Structure 1
């Protein structure tokens, strides 16, 4: 079994190198499976987000092992998610923000999360695919229950 530091190194040195999506997802599942056994696993939260930012359009699964692992940290990962979105929004991190927004039915928190989603549309590093995902989520949040 790898240590948390070895897992972080594997994440930060990862290069897709023409592997198939399934091979990448399987690789990340193996890393995340190892990670969950470590008491210091929180150290890997930011490196996971940095990997997603580095390769924003890699298929990580739906939602895949990285998102499942991050969401497993519950309230701890929110600040890391917001920091990642501030650095560089990606389809996966925007999807995670949308999941948070859907889950938080307290009015003020829900409103703040929705406003964050709107603000991301002005992000200087926004690419077209991520922008499209944000627009879909914004539309969904602004018009809940409409198809």
Structure 2
């Protein structure tokens, strides 16, 4: 994991999901500032997605500073962004990665949206995936 993301990982580990949302969002803003100060760009996406995978029930905001940061690279790296997101979801779906996928679906042309909707559907239909995560997929499919 990228060194800059470790404070978020530690925050989530130490607070055992019973944390103040404002503190969590504030920490994300601080991390994004550091990433920008160090000219870290699209290459961080895999680490961010892994952080979300490791904390599958955590919502990182609506959309949240970290999400805004990685989405800022979408237009220049659409193919790689979607591939990374699909890989993450197929490997270890999380509430927030499904949320990211839904945003991509909503902004895609019809053929691509249908293809990505199948990724969402596969999560919903996979009985091995946690119920809370499957429920999120179902909500996006409705």
TM normalised by structure 2 equals 0.81
Provide Cα deviations, 1:12-52, integer angstroms capped at 9, x if missing partner.
55544124222122111110122124334223211111111
Partner of 1:104: 108
Residues 40 and 65 of structure 1, relative CA distance in 2, 3 Å threshold: closer
Q: CA deviation at 1:119?
A: 1.4
Question: Does the residue aligned with 1:115 lie in a helix, a strand or coil?
Answer: helix
Q: Which runs of 5+ in 2 are unaligned?
A: none
Verify: 1:83 aligned to 2:87, yes or no: yes
Q: Which runs of 5+ in 1 are unaligned?
A: 140-147
CA contact (8 A) 2:29 2:65 kept: yes
TM superposition outliers: structure 1 runs of 4+ over 6 Å: none
Q: CA deviation at 1:130?
A: 1.3
Verify: 1:95 aligned to 2:132, yes or no: no
CA contact (8 A) 1:12 1:47 kept: no
Over aligned residues, Cα RMSD in angstroms? 2.2
Partner of 1:30: 30
Residues 116 and 123 of structure 1, relative CA distance in 2, 3 Å threshold: same
TM normalised by structure 1 equals 0.79
Aligned residues: 135
Residues 134 and 69 of structure 1, relative CA distance in 2, 3 Å threshold: same
